[in-house]
Amino acid sequence: MTDSADRAIIAHLRRDGRATVAQIAADVSLSPAAVSRRLARLERSGVIRGYTAIIDDTRVGGLEAFIEIRMLGAVDAEQLADLARGIPQILEFYNVAGDPDLLVRLRVDDREELAGVVNQLRRTGLIAGTKTLIVLNSWIRT
Amino acid sequence: MTDSADRAIIAHLRRDGRATVAQIAADVSLSPAAVSRRLARLERSGVIRGYTAIIDDTRVGGLEAFIEIRMLGAVDAEQLADLARGIPQILEFYNVAGDPDLLVRLRVDDREELAGVVNQLRRTGLIAGTKTLIVLNSWIRT
DNA sequence: CTTGAAAATCGTTCCAC
DNA sequence: GTGGAACGATTTTCAAG
């Protein structure tokens, strides 16, 4: 379903999500028409879930944080994944092997909003504990 | 430096990093020309650090992980930030307030490559310990 | 899969406000 | 700062091999 050409296209778009079809085509040695068709297929099939701008959150006034979550024994990760979807501040949700069980990345306007998200999570009654990591500085490979 | 129009443009590009200038312009009630100028400024000034495709990693064979890092006392986070830049598997680097001190997100092809990255970090002699979280499942808000 | 070309859309630049 | 028009580039779709 995804051959090496697809993976090359994906790698290119990972580095530059706004790369033009012509740029990608030159990189992977295919015609622009072929790349256009493959892109449409990768997007339709869900391998490419979307595109996003990488923002320097420290410069637009917000607050970025991670929350580690330990689940109660009988709880399914899917339940918390769905709950987290309903919290708009949560941008990314990871179910991980290790301790903690879950890791979420979020963006809020200020500390009060952060406190609200943490409380919202704890009030679900599905989690044993949380640990919040506030981002002071970061870089993302472009 | 960033007014409400800029923030609207950023919000749009966060949702859809490949949105056309025309689409953004319609959304924020500006002309395409104005959006184009603002975009160039936001990219030049570093508020927009880049663009990337959001990939469903479970469908392209790789392995995604987070590594929590605790630094030794006398070490500066900048040193480790620079070191991490030299490890191509590391995609994102976060200096956080809390325990751990650092959090990195990475992508590798297999467990051996993951072990190599962990060893590479430990061998720097700058860190007191690591904890690796392997991503089993995830979602990202589009 | 490819090439080539047409048609539609898009981005940037320039100019006037 | 803004919008409108013009121009060049890009994407997509088509036909044909």
Domain check: are B36 and B78 in the same one? Answer: no
Decide if B139 is inside a domain: no
Domain CATH number, residue B83: 3.30.70.920
Domain check: are A24 and A88 in the same one? Answer: no
Domain check: are A33 and A98 in the same one? Answer: no
Which candidate from A65, A103, A139 shows the least CB-CB separation from B81? A139
Decide if B79 is inside a domain: yes
Q: Which nucleotide is nearest to A32 (CA to C1')?
A: D11
- What is the mean pLDDT of the segment spanning A6-21? 96
- What is the mean pLDDT of the segment spanning A71-97? 96
Asked if the model's pLDDT at residue B21 lies above 80, the reply is yes
Domain check: are B64 and B40 in the same one? Answer: no
Domain check: are A29 and A92 in the same one? Answer: no
Q: Which nucleotide is nearest to A33 (CA to C1')?
A: D12
Domain count, chain B: 2
Cβ-based neighbours of B128, under 8 Å, separated by 6 or more: B70, B71, B72
Continuous segment of H or E residues that includes residue A28? helix A21-28
Q: CA B30 → C1' D2, Å?
A: 9
- What is the mean pLDDT of the segment spanning B92-111? 96
Q: CA A136 → C1' D8, Å?
A: 44
If one counts every other C-beta atom within 10 angstroms of the C-beta of residue B52, the result is 22
How many CB pairs (< 8 A) connect A and B?
A: 182
- What is the mean pLDDT of the segment spanning A67-88? 96
Question: For A123-140, b where at least 16 C-beta lie within 10 A, e where not — what string?
Answer: eeebbeebebbebeebbe
Q: What is the pLDDT of residues B25-43, one digit of tens each?
A: 999 999 999 999 999 999 9
Q: Which residue of A has its CA nearest to B59?
A: A47
Domain check: are A33 and A61 in the same one? Answer: no
- What is the mean pLDDT of the segment spanning B87-104? 97
Q: What is the pLDDT of residue B1?
A: 81
- Report the C-alpha dihedral over residues A47, B55, A52, A24, rounded to 10 degrees: -80
- What is the mean pLDDT of the segment spanning B133-140? 94
Domain check: are A88 and A35 in the same one? Answer: no
Decide if A61 is inside a domain: yes
Q: What is the pLDDT of residue B116?
A: 98
Q: CA B36 → C1' D3, Å?
A: 13
- What is the mean pLDDT of the segment spanning B77-90? 97
B24: containing domain: 4-44
Decide if B116 is inside a domain: yes
Q: What is the pLDDT of residue A59?
A: 87
Which candidate from A46, A48, A92 shows the least CB-CB separation from B53? A48
Domain check: are A72 and A110 in the same one? Answer: yes
Residue A66 banded pLDDT, cuts 50, 70, 90: very high
Judge if the beta carbon of B4 is closer than 7 A to nucleic acid strand D. no
Residue A130 banded pLDDT, cuts 50, 70, 90: very high
Decide if A116 is inside a domain: yes
